[in-house]
Amino acid sequence: MNLWNQFLWVIFPYLMFTIFFVGHFYRFNTDQYGWTAKSSEILEKRGLKWGSLLFHWGIIFVFFGHVAGILVPKWVYSVIGVSEEMYHIGAVWVGGFVGIVTMIGILLLLGRRLAVGRIYVNSSTSDIVTVVSLVIVMGLGLGTTMGYTALGGEFDYRETIGPWFRSLFVFSPQPELMAGAPLIFQLHILAAFALFGIWPFTRLVHVWSLPLTYLRRSYVVYRSLNPKKALQAQSVRRQE
């Protein structure tokens, strides 16, 4: 195993993981007011509605699809009775459909950010880099599914990429498993790790701030105020 493969499949992933965790800790302790997605809905709503809807719902399924394909060992599916054919159909066709939906969503968001003047002017460099990075990662991911596997590629990532990725978490990396992977898979993984590296310094941090308290929070009740009473209240405030 040469030094280049050691860097790509051992050093680089651990470096990105370190930046990911340390960066979040640093960002949270130094920039809590900036820990937000900075909604631009007030500037433009229609493009945001469809782009955000398709992207956010799609990425949830994409995430669990990666968990099922990478983190869950191949032998588990054999134990629970999922055949190679069944898994292949789910991974390629269901995963491909979800990937296309997610890609359409992020492209709508990118087009909105670049084409709508008010959005573009109020976008930071970080905002543009984040969306472009997501497009690259998902584009390469679709390339692995629709451009390689669906067209008859023989590479089985559950016997190579999966074990390699899991080996990182037990601090026993096996870079040789990645050395022979098709280029499109390698590029997708490297782009994903690069995204992890910039994550703490972008709007993506809002992923960890889901407003779960809203589920048990009381409704905010708005009541109209009689115009005469409003004038009386305003007069009282002025006198005070």
pLDDT band at 147 (very low <50, low <70, confident <90, very high): confident
Helix, strand, coil percent content, the chain, rounded in steps of 5: 75, 0, 25
**What is the per-residue pLDDT for 220?**
56
pLDDT digits (tens, 9 = 90+) for 166-204: 999 999 999 999 988 999 999 999 999 999 999 999 999
Q: Measure the CA–CA gap between 152 and 198, rounded to whole angstroms.
A: 34
Assigned token pair, 198? 């910039």
pLDDT digits (tens, 9 = 90+) for 41-73: 777 888 888 999 999 999 999 999 999 999 999
> How much is the mean pLDDT over the chain?
87
The structure's pTM equals 0.83
Q: Measure the CA–CA gap between 44 and 60, rounded to whole angstroms.
A: 24
Specify the long-range contacts of residues 90-93, CB closer than 8 Å, at least 24 apart: 91/65, 91/145, 91/149, 92/145, 92/146, 92/149, 92/150, 93/150
The separation between CA 82 and the C-alpha centre of its own chain, rounded to angstroms, equals 28
